[in-house]
């Protein structure tokens, strides 16, 4: 799986060259040699590749900046944080939409500002009650209307779904966090930067007019929609790496339940199946329902149909079509290659699990004649769409190893 944009750009070029048989030549800076192959025009604002003599190709990623930013903001919490007030190492799993820095509630004041400060006292209370593991939502009978001092309420407000204590001998306690659920509800564009800018502008205006500043309106959290199942590849890799441990644990659990009725070999076989199924689910990103249409202005997220999602990308990034419109008039084939990142992979998997192609042809902006779509977490097939419909291409053979042919001649 390509990890950075020049690698994924190169992969897209290799795929298009393989599928179409047309020679691809870097037009923007070459992702392999870092040079401009074609020096006939100014270097800014170029599309990425010439396709043969009559085509142009621009490559981009369809992703969710909101999801990527939120995942990054959780990174510092993945390693254990010392929590001297605790006795155990607590593993928390939080929702993808949970904020790494929990919003401050007016009542609790400054103390509630930071995630660890918010969950620390709740975990201490669980220790005091002798609780070592909890599904936060179902642990308290008055959920979701917790009393103000309920530890489960505090954990739920911070976005924690589960809390497990790992006993440690001697040392002080700590807290580790992993982000469990999918990012499918994350919009492509959450407008946070624009909101902040607008708030600053208003504040300035009001200050000039000698008025008291009015606090900016907060985005409505309910607009973020439902969380469905779509796992971060790092999480799948973690599941794979602890497969043997999980099989062992599952077998132990089954032995206590069925040890007197089932032979050991069968218990092991069943434990293997359970763990296989769990990893398979995580990989295929099970999706059973479409998201209900959301009220208000149209939001685009990974629950959106693939074609709608790509059309929204064109409206969010007008530069894609603008670059292709600047191509030489004899280059009549003008295409955009979209790589869906893992934040958008469920839109892809909903189709490919059933070997389906999108139901309708894409509406393309002026200057674009076709689109390629691939998913960075699935390198087995690729879609091509234009105003006449969609074609699926399997990537079975050997892709060209390299696009840049300069290395050999230098």
Which residues in this chain contact Zn ion in the complex, by CB under 5 A? 30, 32-33, 140, 142, 146, 150, 152-153, 404, 406
Could you tell me the smallest distance in angstroms from the CB atom of residue 35 to Zn ion? 6
Q: How far is CA 101 from the centre of its chain?
A: 19
Closer residue to Zn ion (CB): 217 or 401: 401
**Closer of 145 and 329 to Zn ion (Cβ):** 145
Query: In whole angstroms, how close is the CB of 149 to Zn ion at the nearest point?
Result: 9
Smallest distance from the beta carbon of 27 to Zn ion, in angstroms? 11
Q: Least distance (Å) from Zn ion to the CB of residue 146?
A: 3
H or E element that contains 117: helix 115-128
Backbone torsion region of residue 52, taken as left when φ is above 0, otherwise alpha when ψ lies between -120 and 50, otherwise beta: left
* Cβ nearer to Zn ion, comparing 167 with 407: 407
The nearer residue to Zn ion, 140 or 163, going by C-beta atoms, is 140
Q: Which CB sits closer to Zn ion, 52 or 367?
A: 52
Contact 344, 64 (CB under 8 A): yes
Alpha-carbon distance of 54 to 90, in angstroms, equals: 60
CA 28 to centroid of chain Cα atoms: 28
The residues, ordered by sequence, that sit 6+ positions from 276 with a Cβ below 8 Å of its Cβ are none
Q: What is the CA radius of gyration of the chain?
A: 26
Q: Which of 88, 78, 325 is nearest to 180 (CA)?
A: 78
Q: How far is the CB of 272 from Zn ion (least distance, A)?
A: 38
Q: Give whichever of 102 and 403 is closer to Zn ion, judged by the CB atom.
A: 403
- Candidates 157, 218, 223; CA nearest to 186 is 223
3-state secondary structure of 30: coil
| Structure tokens, 315 | 């409206």
- Residue 36 vs 317, nearer CB to Zn ion: 36
The nearest distance, CB 37 to Zn ion, in angstroms, is 6
Sequence-distant (≥ 6) Cβ neighbours of residue 386 within 8 angstroms = 361, 362, 364, 369, 370, 371
Q: At its nearest, how many Å lie between Zn ion and the CB of residue 339?
A: 20
- Least spacing, CB of residue 337 vs Zn ion, in Å: 18
In angstroms, the CA 373 to CA 382 distance is: 6
Residue 386, classed as helix, strand or coil, is strand
131 or 357: CB nearest Zn ion = 131
* CB of residue 397 to Zn ion, shortest distance in Å: 23
Closest CB 133 distance from Zn ion, rounded Å:
16
Question: From the CB of residue 220, how many other CB atoms can be counted at a distance below 10 Å?
Answer: 8
Q: What are phi and psi of 24, to 5 degrees?
A: -100, 135
Q: Reduced to 3 states, what is the DSSP secondary structure of residue 245?
A: helix
Residue 141 or 329 with smaller CB distance to Zn ion: 141
Q: Do the strands 333-340 and 55-62 form a parallel or antiparallel pair, or are they unpaired?
A: parallel
Nearer to Zn ion, 126 or 285 (CB): 126
Q: What gap in Å lies between CA 56 and CA 60, rounded to an integer? A: 14
The DSSP 8-state label assigned to residue 361 in this structure reads: P
The backbone torsions φ and ψ at residue 298, rounded to the nearest 5 degrees and listed phi first, read -70, 125
Sign of the dihedral through C-alpha 315, 318, 324, 326: positive
Closest to Zn ion by CB, 33 vs 278, is 33
**Cβ of residue 148: shortest distance to Zn ion, in angstroms?**
10
């Amino acid at each position: 799986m390509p990890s950075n944009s020049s690698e994924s750009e190169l992969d897209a070029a290799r795929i298009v060259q393989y599928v179409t048989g047309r020679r691809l030549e870097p037009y923007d800076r070459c992702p392999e040699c870092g040079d401009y192959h074609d020096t006939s025009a100014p270097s800014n604002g170029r599309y990425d590749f010439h396709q043969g003599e009559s085509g142009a190709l621009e490559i981009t990623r369809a992703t969710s900046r909101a999801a990527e930013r939120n995942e990054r903001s959780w990174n510092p919490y993945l390693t254990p944080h010392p929590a001297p007030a605790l006795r155990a190492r607590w593993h928390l799993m939080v929702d993808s939409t949970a904020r790494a820095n929990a919003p401050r509630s007016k009542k609790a004041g400054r103390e509630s500002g930071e995630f660890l400060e918010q969950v620390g006292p709740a975990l201490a209370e669980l220790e005091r009650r002798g609780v070592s593991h909890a599904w936060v939502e179902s642990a308290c009978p008055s959920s979701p209307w917790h009393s103000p001092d309920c530890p489960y309420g505090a954990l739920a407000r911070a976005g924690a779904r589960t809390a497990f204590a790992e006993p440690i001998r001697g040392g002080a306690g700590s807290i580790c966090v992993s982000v469990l659920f999918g990012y499918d509800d994350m919009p492509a564009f959450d407008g946070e930067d624009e909101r902040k800018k607008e708030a600053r502008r208003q504040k300035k205006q009001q200050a000039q007019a000698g008025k008291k500043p009015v606090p900016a309106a907060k985005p409505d959290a309910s607009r973020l929609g439902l969380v469905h199942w779509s796992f971060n590849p790092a999480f799948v890799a973690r599941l794979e790496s602890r497969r043997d441990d999980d099989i062992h644990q599952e077998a132990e659990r089954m032995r206590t339940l069925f040890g007197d009725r089932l032979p050991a070999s069968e218990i092991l076989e069943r434990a293997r199946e359970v763990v296989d199924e769990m990893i398979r689910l995580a990989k295929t990103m099970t999706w059973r329902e479409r998201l209900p249409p959301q009220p208000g202005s149209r939001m685009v997220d990974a629950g959106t149909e693939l074609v709608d999602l790509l059309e929204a990308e064109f409206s969010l990034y007008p530069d894609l079509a603008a670059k292709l419109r600047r191509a030489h008039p004899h280059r009549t084939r003008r295409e955009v290659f979209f790589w869906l990142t893992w934040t958008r992979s469920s839109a892809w998997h909903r189709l490919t699990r059933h070997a389906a192609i999108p139901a309708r042809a894409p509406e393309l902006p002026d200057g674009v004649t076709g689109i390629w779509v691939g998913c960075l977490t699935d390198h087995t097939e690729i879609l091509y769409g234009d105003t006449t419909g969609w074609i699926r291409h399997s990537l079975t053979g050997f892709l060209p190893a390299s696009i840049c042919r300069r290395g050999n001649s230098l």
